[in-house]
């Protein structure tokens, strides 16, 4: 006990507003650190008593201090490299999108080798004046000899030119799979539009041939961006279209060099042999470390707006379309989930439609009944739609609802929203049902799906508490009964992310003994309006006990 009393803090942060995220709620006092661990959270006198001659003491006044934020669903390498590439968001036609890409490329031509793939992002043909899928011909006019691949705004569709199809060996003879289709012209030739997993072979080449020096530079840069937003941990969803879109070895090298100021959690493809997961868990098992293997991820369905979401009942705008579009064979899903859950691996299932959510809950419940409870954290990713009958089930089973609040407002106004047309008003009132999930005891985590949207967490906080579109409407919020408090939103963005990956004993709250990842905001977020949250700034970010960002 004498040794404990003599411990001296390396850093002390004083504030009248310390949001612990634990049972103590808000504390007026401060946080004392000893190296990369929290030594004490208490009154100003209590933490100052731990200061010594060399302690870095900072009086933050009434600025809010929170635990570091955790983005619980992103595609890291894809996102950070996209920051240096062209986004076609807002284009109103196929021709405008192709022309914008050509103009952008002319300004950045010297950054590309002669035979290097050109990638771009963010087209949304459903928002075009003529809402039909694009073709290779518009890209061919500008890029006859350079392969081009463009991901759509949801990452569930792709657009490429003729050169890309040729390099990938794709022609009219290629067959669709049950989980993805190739756009075709009247004569049966490929149009250049790639639906769902049909884009996998093109995307794999476009991503796999990205020079590693560009990957490394982008990762180094995005680390600074994360720190400026108070993000100290991420969960990277490597599987996309049945391929892994990451570079674990590169991330490991940069983490070991101390070049990345965030904790990297990652999930791999559930369809891979379980031996791969076992090897990665053995390699990255330290819950106090910078890298942690969190388990596996898989798709159950696609997205609602393209009618690839799996629904309980028929689509309102097209009752004849197949409402049970599936991204994988459900018997295989059952077999894999039973296997991974039995061995304690975390499992994350992409489910956008309410039918996919229900099926995931059924599969998880069966695994728990057969195997019993294990260390496996079971989560459902996205949950744009969910049926009220499943909220209590998820709460009782402890299924994590891993949601992305910015997805609630991917368009500028409620008038532009396509969901209500697809599913009707009855089901639309259950979209992104955050409050109902909390009320039913569901653990929750927040993320962005970066690069589907920016990694900026302020947007997620705003959408969770206000539920307004960028135009500020509806004034009361869309489905206002689903708004949550800022306190809940911050807890989900901190503790929720740690809980989802099984690291809540080390991260997610400001408590003695936990890792020293924290954020000092420039103001007290609780004094701001929901709109004010969008302009809130981070004063400083501490990662692993070190100040890694200062405003």
**Residue 247 main-chain phi, psi, to 5 deg:** -145, 80
User: What does the pLDDT read at residue 205?
Assistant: 86
User: What does the pLDDT read at residue 178?
Assistant: 76
Cα–Cα distance measured from residue 487 to residue 183, given in angstroms and rounded to the nearest whole number: 46
Cα–Cα distance measured from residue 245 to residue 82, given in angstroms and rounded to the nearest whole number: 13
Cα–Cα distance measured from residue 123 to residue 501, given in angstroms and rounded to the nearest whole number: 32
User: Helix or strand or coil: residue 289?
Assistant: coil
User: Helix or strand or coil: residue 19?
Assistant: strand
Radius of gyration, CA atoms only, the chain: 24
Other CB atoms within a 10 A radius of the CB of residue 278 amount to: 13
If phi > 0 it is left, if psi is from -120 to 50 it is alpha, else beta; for residue 22 that is beta
Beta bridge partners of 193: 159
Give the number of C-alpha atoms closer than 13 A to the C-alpha of residue 124, restricted to the C-beta side: 17
- How many residues in total does the chain contain? 551
User: Helix or strand or coil: residue 401?
Assistant: strand
User: Helix or strand or coil: residue 174?
Assistant: coil
HEC-encoded secondary structure of 115-145: CCCEEEEEECHHHCCCCCCCCHHHHHCCCCC
Cα–Cα distance measured from residue 551 to residue 545, given in angstroms and rounded to the nearest whole number: 17
Cα–Cα distance measured from residue 408 to residue 395, given in angstroms and rounded to the nearest whole number: 22
Beta bridge partners of 38: 33
H helix runs in 319-430, sequence order:
330-342, 354-371, 388-397, 419-428
pLDDT along the chain (551 residues), means of 10: 62 99 90 98 98 97 99 96 92 97 97 94 92 97 98 92 97 88 96 92 83 94 98 94 81 97 98 96 98 97 93 95 86 97 98 98 98 98 98 98 97 91 96 99 98 97 98 97 98 99 98 99 98 98 99 94
User: What does the pLDDT read at residue 3?
Assistant: 39
For strands 518-521 and 538-543, give the pairing.
antiparallel
For domain 300-445+474-482, which architecture applies? Alpha-Beta Barrel (3.20)
Q: Which fold has domain 7-67+513-550?
A: Urease, subunit C; domain 1 (2.30.40)
Q: How would you label 300-320 residue by residue, b for 16+ Cβ within 10 Å and e otherwise?
A: bbbbbbbbbbbbbeebbeeee
User: What does the pLDDT read at residue 2?
Assistant: 39
Other CB atoms within a 10 A radius of the CB of residue 219 amount to: 22
Long-range contacts of 247-253 (CB under 8 A, 24+ apart): 247/77, 247/212, 247/215, 248/280, 250/212, 250/215, 250/216, 250/219, 251/76, 251/219, 251/291, 252/291
Is residue 406 a contact partner of residue 460, using CB atoms and an 8 Å limit? yes
| Terminal C-alpha separation, the chain | 39
Q: Among 3.30.70.240, 3.10.310.70, 3.40.50.880, 3.40.50.720, what is the CATH number of 77-208?
A: 3.10.310.70
Domain boundaries, the chain: 7-67+513-550, 77-208, 300-445+474-482
Q: 359: which 2 tokens?
A: 């099926």
Cα–Cα distance measured from residue 467 to residue 463, given in angstroms and rounded to the nearest whole number: 5
């Amino acid at each position: 006990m004498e040794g404990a009393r003599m411990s001296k803090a390396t850093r002390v942060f004083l504030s009248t507003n310390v949001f612990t995220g634990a049972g103590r709620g808000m504390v007026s006092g401060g946080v004392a650190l000893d190296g990369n661990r929290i030594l004490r959270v208490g009154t100003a006198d209590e933490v100052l008593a731990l200061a010594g001659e060399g302690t870095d003491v900072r009086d933050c006044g009434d600025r809010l201090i929170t635990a570091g934020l955790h983005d619980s669903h992103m595609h890291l390498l894809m996102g950070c490299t996209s920051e240096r590439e062209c986004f076609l968001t807002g284009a109103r036609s196929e021709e405008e999108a192709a022309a914008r890409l050509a103009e952008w490329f002319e300004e950045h031509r010297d950054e590309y080798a002669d035979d290097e793939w050109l990638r771009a992002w963010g087209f949304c043909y459903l928002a075009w004046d003529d809402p039909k899928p694009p073709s290779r011909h518009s890209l061919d006019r500008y890029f006859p000899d350079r392969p081009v691949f463009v991901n759509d705004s949801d990452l569930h569709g792709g657009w490429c030119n003729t050169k890309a199809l040729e390099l990938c060996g794709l022609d009219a003879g290629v067959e669709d799979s049950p989980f993805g289709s190739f756009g075709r012209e009247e004569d049966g030739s490929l149009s250049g539009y790639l639906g769902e997993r049909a884009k996998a072979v093109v995307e794999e080449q476009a991503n796999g041939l990205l020079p590693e020096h560009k990957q490394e530079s982008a990762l180094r840069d995005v680390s600074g961006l994360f720190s400026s937003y108070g993000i100290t941990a991420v969960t990277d969803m490597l599987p996309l279209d049945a391929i892994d879109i990451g570079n674990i070895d590169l991330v490991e090298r940069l983490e070991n060099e101390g070049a990345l100021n965030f904790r990297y959690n990652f999930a791999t493809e559930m369809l891979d042999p379980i031996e791969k997961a076992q090897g990665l868990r053995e390699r990255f098992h330290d819950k106090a470390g910078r890298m942690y293997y969190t388990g596996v991820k898989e798709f159950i369905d696609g997205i609602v707006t393209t009618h690839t979401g799996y629904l309980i009942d028929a689509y309102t705008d097209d009752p004849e379309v197949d409402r049970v579009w599936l991204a994988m064979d459900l018997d295989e899903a059952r077999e894999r989930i039973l296997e991974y859950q039995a061995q304690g691996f975390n499992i994350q299932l992409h489910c956008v439609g309410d039918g996919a959510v229900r099926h995931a809950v059924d599969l998880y419940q069966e695994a728990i009944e057969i195997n019993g409870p294990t260390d496996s954290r079971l989560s459902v990713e996205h949950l744009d739609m969910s049926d009220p009958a499943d909220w209590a089930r998820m709460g009782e089973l402890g299924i994590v609802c891993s949601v992305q609040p910015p997805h609630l407002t991917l368009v500028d106004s409620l008038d532009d929203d396509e969901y209500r047309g697809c599913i009707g008003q009855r089901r639309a009132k259950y979209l992104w049902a955050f409050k109902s999930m909390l009320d039913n005891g569901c653990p929750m985590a927040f993320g962005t799906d970066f690069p589907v949207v920016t990694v900026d967490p302020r947007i997620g906080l705003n959408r969770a508490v206000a539920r307004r579109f960028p135009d500020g409407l509806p004034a009361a919020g869309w489905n206002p009964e689903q708004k949550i408090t800022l306190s809940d939103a911050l807890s989900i963005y901190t503790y929720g992310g740690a809980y989802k990956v099984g690291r809540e004993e080390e991260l997610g709250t400001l408590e003695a003994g936990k890792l020293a990842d924290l954020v000092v905001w420039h103001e007290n977020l609780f004094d701001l309006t929901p709109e004010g949250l969008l302009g809130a700034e981070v004063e400083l970010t501490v990662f692993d006990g070190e100040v890694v960002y200062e405003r």
